[in-house]
Amino acid sequence: MEARSNTFLETEPVGKLMCRYAIPCVISLLVAALYNIVDQIFIANASYLGSYGNAANTVVFPLTVVALAIAVLIGDGCCAFVSICLGRDEKERAHRSIGNAIVLCLAASILLTAIYLIFQEPILTMFGGRVNAETFRYSKEYFFYISLGIPFYMFGQAMNPIIRSDGSPKFAMFSTLLGAVLNIILDPIFIFLFRWGMMGAAVATVIGQISTALLSVWYLCHMKAVSLQTDSFRLKGGLIKRFLILGLCSLLSQVSLVVSMAVVNNMIRKYGALDPIFGQDQYAQIPMAVVGIVMKFFQIVISISIGLAAGCIPIVGYNIGAGHKDRARRLFTHLLLSEAVIGAIAFFIVECFPQQLISIFGAANESVYYTDFAVRSFRIYLCMLILACINKGTFIYLQSLGKALASTLLSMVREVVFGVGSALILPLSFGLDGVLYSMPVSDLLTFVISSILIFCTYRELRT
């Protein structure tokens, strides 16, 4: 009888396995986050773009998250399912699920690109792009070229977790890293040397995404634990349903984030217009640009948080499939402690060094109102980072256990019920600052529910 693949997942110490899988995953997600962040840094420091370009980047960012949401639905779901299949030595189902995931990703990415190109202006308006005429013009320019790269972006992001499930987290990291490095190299050339503006930032991003997609294609032809066949790409409804359910949490956590960002952007536009300073046309884009920057720092922190948890998915799935609940429980403890440490470090940085953080994004070229609002935003918006990291780790760990419903509901409650609700209600009493308070209030309320689920999970893994 043929030996099972990846048996080291049930024998090596869980702490060592977590480092082996989580660190490359963290780096991969950080690098993926850098695409948009690097664009924003170079845009902010280009005097001919400045806060208008920054605000445009903030408007378009949620729309890239929509693409990511669909990609992780397919990729994370397939990763969790493949890991469980390999733990049970069901290689036939593993290779078929990967082939089906590839076909779904390609079809979905082409459809999303067409929607973005056809309905560009109403979509940008929905996400707050009409804060002023200059911001809207930059938004349209940036969004057009970003839309052309959506198929490559989605394919690379969907294949990344699948490559990890095949036992190659370092290759998954390298493929994403190459694209980000290309983006970092090309951004200053296109923005400062060629002066291509928002188009230059977008084109640099798309070139990086193409390189990641091409490396992913190469790896799929050289997989280790399974081998793709022509029959792998024949769609099987039952199989697709199984792995999409496991990826549903990843989809909804991203989609609900998009809904939350859309509401926040529109509340910023609405209550910024009522502010005595930001109600003036020359300063109207500042709140949106600043909150976009704060969100980018949050994205860096949460990428580390997600990476720690997502890196555990193949380990947890394999051990649950092999019947080793005790190892899954120990890994959960390692994960929660790591999430708390990451959140504490990030909290210290945002509370002590907000001015230094905002200076990276071109504050020297802006008015004093820009810096003052940015410092206040960092300190208020991100004051519950520790709880945010623990919440996110809990969402994803539940997903790796196959608890798609609990994971999905918790994520939806955080982003839609608490996130959107507080963003709509708090500004009624606190104005523009109410938008900033919506983030910590949502994280605090979500942690109450997370604590209950953490306790229940530990109890279940002891049986």
Region for residue 223 given its phi and psi (left: phi exceeds 0; alpha: psi -120 to 50; beta: otherwise): beta
Question: What is the distance between the alpha carbons of residues 104 and 216, in angstroms, rounded to a whole number?
Answer: 16
Tens digit of each residue's pLDDT (9 = 90 or more) over 406-445: 777 887 888 889 999 999 999 999 999 999 999 999 999 9
Are 414 and 444 in contact by the 8 Å Cβ rule? The answer is no
- On whether residue 2 sits in a domain, the answer given is no
pLDDT of 2 reads 44
Domain that holds residue 441: 13-462
Please state the domain count of the chain.
1
Are 159 and 216 in contact by the 8 Å Cβ rule? The answer is yes
- On whether residue 4 sits in a domain, the answer given is no
pLDDT of 47 reads 84
User: HEC profile for 123-151?
Assistant: HHHHCCHHHCHHHHHHHHHHHHHHHHCHH
pLDDT of 90 reads 85
Region for residue 431 given its phi and psi (left: phi exceeds 0; alpha: psi -120 to 50; beta: otherwise): left
**Rounded-to-10 torsion of CA 228, 73, 28, 41:** 140
Question: What is the distance between the alpha carbons of residues 396 and 187, in angstroms, rounded to a whole number?
Answer: 33
pTM of the entire structure?
0.79
Helix-helix angle 50-87:14-44, to 10 degrees: 160
Question: What is the distance between the alpha carbons of residues 162 and 180, in angstroms, rounded to a whole number?
Answer: 20
Question: What is the distance between the alpha carbons of residues 180 and 33, in angstroms, rounded to a whole number?
Answer: 9
Tens digit of each residue's pLDDT (9 = 90 or more) over 278-335: 999 888 989 998 998 898 889 889 889 988 898 888 888 788 877 888 888 999 999 9
pLDDT of 406 reads 79
Question: What is the distance between the alpha carbons of residues 175 and 8, in angstroms, rounded to a whole number?
Answer: 24
pLDDT of 1 reads 38
What's the average pLDDT block by block, 10 residues per block, for the chain (463 residues)? 61 84 80 76 87 90 91 91 84 92 96 98 93 93 97 95 86 89 94 95 95 96 89 91 84 78 90 91 89 87 88 82 85 94 96 90 77 94 96 87 78 87 94 94 95 92 80
Cα 300 to Cα 14, 71, 184, 291, distances in angstroms: 25, 19, 16, 14
Question: What is the distance between the alpha carbons of residues 84 and 64, in angstroms, rounded to a whole number?
Answer: 30
Region for residue 118 given its phi and psi (left: phi exceeds 0; alpha: psi -120 to 50; beta: otherwise): alpha
